[in-house]
Every structure is written in structure tokens, then in C-alpha cells.
Structure 1
Amino acid sequence: MKWNIVTNQQHLNRIERVCDYIATHLDEALTLDVLSEVAICSKYHFHRLFKAYMGVSAVQYVQMARLKRASFRLAFEAKYSVTDIAYEAGFESPEAFSRAFSRIFDQTPSQFRTQPAWQHWHAQYAAQPPMQGENMLDVTVVDFAQREVALIEHKGHPNLVLETASKFIQWRKSTGLSPVDKSETFGVPYSDPNDTPADEFRFDICGTHQGEVPENVFGVKAGVIPAGRCAMAIHKGSHDRIGETVYQLYRSWLPQSGEELRDYPCFFHYLNFVHQVDECDLVTEVYLPLK
């Protein structure tokens, strides 16, 4: 008798394939029939398999993915009304959207738009899709040119970085300096958020800007990202998982490269943002400074 043995890794591959499909098809009908076909799995077993690996049902996962996009729309895209966002998220009415949003995030959409409670929001997305081993990174050693920047320092819990980012966005809009469509945007974490006490974590949000930065109520000031050799890899997708690319640079690429690290933290160059593209289409350059 020939047994068809499906390994745990194959199950993980199936679930990750489904998660990737959901992320890139949020505006389509994501029924169990459709998702089970993507998983190449019987629909009679798919829903149990998905929940066993993800901790939530496929239906709940889809709703959370759509609500995540809706959250970014509320916080960063004033041009979208709450009604528009509700229908885009697949709800039959703004009232149904508001009930679901409030149940999960403890804020109405309007409250979240005005003053988002990012720390509680992050807690709802703490569980990450399964890891299935490392793909090979495409790493390039580049000569990074110095950037003069305007920056705002975030000091405190990593889950509150988006609050600081909102202040930087307000500064950009109110002054017209370092406009997002004509400037580069960088993030500089000075330590690993997983190994740093929350009150000691620092993350600089930077936008290229030459010259002085006028005194302002937001705390934005002038700074520099220094020139030097760097290993650069592309991270695609959610910023919440950018640590996976960073760790892979340190764990896999660096030991085999023969390179030594320079005394400056790794940093990120954001090529697009969640108010421009869906989260799955985010592209970020990750730089590891070298001697």
C-alpha cells in the first residue's frame, strides 16, 4: 500500500499560500470554497486546518485583514469617508462596520480616526502567520550617500511608533517641508524592539530635507543619516514583519559574507506607504551598515 504522507511543512506552505492570497485579493469574494482551492485542500478539512495553524477561522482572518486596511484608511487617508471605508471592507452598512470595528478595537471608526489607540490595535494583530523557513535574500552591497534629514524621535513602546509617525505627517503637511511625494522617508531603529525595555526603545522617523528645520511644536529637528557601505535587501509586505528580513541579514547573510558591521544601526528606506498601496504591496529597502 502506498501512503500519501503530508508533512507539517507542507501544511505550513498551504496556510501561508492562503494568507498571501488573502492579502492580495481583499476586494474579491474570499469564500471557503475559493480559499480551499488555493490551499489545494478539501473544503471539508480546510477550515479546521486553517484554524489549527492560525488560531482563528479563515472567515475571521479575512475580516481582520480587511479591518487592518480600514484602520490605515481611517488614520491616514482623510479623503475616504467612514461610509466608503465600510463598503470597501465588505460590510453591508456603516453601522455593521462600526459594530465590528468597535468590538475588536474598543473604539468606533470615528474615534479611531481622531485619536487611534495604536497600542491596543497592535495587540489584536500580535499573532503572525506561520513561518515556513527562510527564502534566500537577494543582498547587494552599496555605497549609501549621506542624507540630510528632518527627523522626529520616537521614544517609548514600539507599538506607539505610528502615533509619532502621525506627528511627523502633520509636520510635513503643515509646513510643506520634506513633502512625501518629493522626499525620501527613512526609519532608524536604535535597538531590537523585542529585546529592549519599552521605555528605552528609540526609533527615528526621517524625511530628506536640506538646511535648517524651523522650531516647531511637533519636535521635528535636523539630522543626518551618514554615508557608507551597506548591505541592502528588499523587504516586501507588512512593516510588522520587517524584523524577519533584518534577522535573516544578521543570521544568514553576514556570517557568510566576511563583512564587518559599522557603528550605526540598521535602517529602512520606505519606498511606498499604506495610504498608497495595500499592505501586501509595501516595499522597503533594509540597510545594514558595513565597514
Structure 2
Amino acid sequence: MNKTYKTRIDTVIQYIESNLNSRITLADVAEVSHFSPYHFHRIFTGIMGETVNDFIARRRLERAVNQLVFNPDMPVTQVALDLGFSSSANFSKAVKLHFGYSPSELRNPDKVKDSKIGKLFSKYGKEFQPSDLYPSSITNDVMNRKTFKDTNMKIEVRELERKRVCTLASERGYEPEGIYAAWDKLISWASNHGIMPGNQQRFALAFDNPAVTPIDKCRYTAAIVIGEETLVNAPFELSEIPNGKYAVLYYKGPVEETLNAQLSIYSDWLPDSGFEPDNYPMMERYLNDARSDGFVEMEIYVKLKEI
């Protein structure tokens, strides 16, 4: 993809993500893009695979559902207003239409009897059940189960210094082929710039919750820490990981259990921690090669701010 196009669309996405709780007009978004308003919508749809309106509506609903699940004491009306809906009734209608379930059913999946097929399946082909939003509680009893015999977990709050990174986004979201392709290219680039594989600090930025976002729409960016003088050219991008406090969960175990590990930070640890997530995507720091080892060893980072 042309670097200018990608940079402008990335700027649009950042603008949308920062203003989901406000009214977003198409004219404003087109202006942010610096593309002609006559052609911007076609450019966005061609690159993103969905219209601007569909993208805004989907991201607003995905964020709202995460709020419903991870802030169970927050009234539905408050969730609705915080995400820019005019009323809880309009919010409930939109949630039901998209997911096939009402907000109360999403918060109480055990009471769900039936549902309608929402847009999430009919439009994006993603099968969805409210129970997908709730990880198995990761306790000592769970850890002793046979399926977790090789799993070790520990969580701590850690101060992280700013890190300058070279990044490359997966072109296929969270699909394994897209993730591996991005990493293969980035690891090769780093090696060619004098950062040997054994010395590479590898982070991944995971922007979306795959329980509610179609896998190919999830945004995943691979990143390797670089020196202050290292130059970065397209298709790679220069970025930085901000300094601050992070909740860090060490995980070692089956790849298929990583989602439970990630969600456990939000469901089991954050509510009583005295912190809430800051406005920065979840990160994973990889400590091994899961493709060759058959398991993943990593640290999961969630940037924090005090409540």
C-alpha cells in the first residue's frame, strides 16, 4: 500500500478511536484524512473493507460491550452515554441488532435462552456467544488441572521506560498467517540492521478484543525495540512505547489459552487493583518462538492509570 495512503488512513482511525464518545461527522473524518471529500469514502472502504459509518458503529459497539463486561457495576445508561448514544433504549437496540443479544444478556450469559442473528454474523461472518466474553477464572485450582500443568502465571505492576520501536502491522488482523508474515519480515529487517534475533526485544500491540471483533478486523502490530539512531523506512514505521505503569502478566502455556490469560487481567485483577486501563493498546512481549516450541512464553502488558 502507498505509504501516504496508509499514513492518512491510520490518522483517521486514531481520530475515530479518540472521539468514539462524541458525534463524529463524515465531513470531519474526511478533513482529517486530507483526501478529497468526494473520494475519501471510497478510499477508506477500499482499504479497510467496510464503510466509514460501519467502522465507527462497529468500534463504538465493541468498546461499549467491553465496558459492559469489565465494568459490571456501571449502569447500562452510563455506558450508553459515555459512548455517544442518546439513550439507553437506542443503545440497547443497537447492541441487540449488532450482536444478537441485549446488554443485560451480555452481562448474564447463563440466563440467555435464544437470540437473533446479529450483524456480527450476517455481515462479518463471526459466530458469537456472550459466554465468549468471560474467561475461565484463573485460580490455583485451575492451575493444577491437567490442561494447565505446564502453565505458570504471575502478575505485577511495573514501571516501563519509553522504548523506540520499528513496527509492521499484520495485513490479516489476528489470523496466524498474517501475524507470522509480519514477524518474519520484521525479524529479518532487524537482523539486517545489526539486531540479532537473540537480542531482539519483541512486542506486539493488540488493539482489539477478538471475542467481539472479527479476526480479520482485529488490528495487530509487531514491534522490535531499536536504538535512537536507527533509521526506519517503508513499509516499516517508526513508533514508540510510552513510559508509565503497566500491569504485567507472565504467561507460559498453550497458545489457545492466551485469550483467557489476557482477559483475566481485566476480569480478575483490575477491579480490585486501584487502577484502570489507560488509553493504550494491550501489548505482548514474546520470550520464545511458539512455532518451534509448541507453546508460548510471554509477558502481557496493560498500561495503567489510577482511578
Question: Higher RCO, 1 or 2 (CA under 8 Å, sep at least 6)?
Answer: 1
Task: Give 1 or 2 for the bigger CA radius of gyration.
Answer: 1
TM-score (norm 2): 0.46
